[in-house]
Structures are given as structure tokens and as C-alpha cells.
Amino acid sequence: MHATSSFDKRKWLSSFAHGSIFLSSLVASVGIPIVLLFVSDDEVVKENAREAINFHFNVWLYGLIVALLCWVLVGWLLLPVLFVYHWVMPVLAILSCWRNPDQAYRYPFIFRVF
């Protein structure tokens, strides 16, 4: 029974780390994976939290780049791509956490800060 409960806990915490990006576009949403990184004792949850933090930073960086490119009228073409990336990738991460909770999800096309 204990193994099943930790298995479910891993799924929920990993999904919560990736889904935190949907809570707000503010800096506060990155606080959830940061707290999970320091509070959890499960390595898979910690790796998912690190990946979610990196995804937050990358979305902010890509948003800044697209915003700057909007000033030269090129960014408007990239805005839909960023929007889809921002909403689809965390959903894929959550689904991956539910299908295979023993493996951390790795986002494509991001720079990993740590």
C-alpha cells in the first residue's frame, strides 16, 4: 500500500510542478516548482520541478524576445508559435507524468539553467 501511495504522490506532485505555469503568467507561478524542489524528497519530483522552473524561465525569455521583435514587426509572426508552445508543452508534460511517473519529463527547445 505504501508503494502505491508514493507512486500516486509522485504523479500528483510532478504534474503540479508542470501545471503551475497555468496558474498565472506572473513570477508567483514559478514559486510552486521551487517549493517542490526544496520540500520533496523524491528525486523524480525534484527533476520534474527543475524542468518546470527551466520551462518558466524559457517562456519568459522567449516572450521577451518575441516582444522585442514585435517592435520591428517580425514578432507578430512568432506570437502564435509562442502561444501554442506555452500551452501545449505543459499539457504534454502532465500527460507524460501520468503515463510514466518513474521518469522525469524533458521539455524540448529549452535552455537548462540548472
Span 82-111, pLDDT tens digits? 999 999 999 999 999 999 999 999 999 999
Question: How many Å apart are CA 36 and CA 47, to the nearest integer?
Answer: 10
Q: Is the pLDDT of residue 25 over 80?
A: no
Q: Which residue bears the cell 528525486?
A: 43
Sorting pLDDT into bands at 50, 70 and 90, what band is 1?
very low
Mean of per-residue pLDDT scores for the chain: 90
The one-character DSSP state at 102 is T
Q: Using DSSP, state whether 112 is helix, strand or coil.
A: coil
CA distances from 24 to 30, 64, 69, 82 (A): 9, 17, 24, 16
Three cell numbers at 6?
Answer: 508514493
pLDDT digit string, tens, across residues 26-71: 667 899 999 999 999 999 999 999 999 999 999 999 999 999 998 8
Question: What would the DSSP string read from start to end of 17-65?
Answer: HHHGGGT-SSGGGGHHHHHHHHH---HHHHHHHHHHHHHHHHHHHHHHH
For the segment 17-33, the average pLDDT, to the nearest whole number, is 84
Give domain limits for the chain. 2-99
Q: Is the pLDDT of residue 3 over 80?
A: no
Q: What is the pTM of this model?
A: 0.89
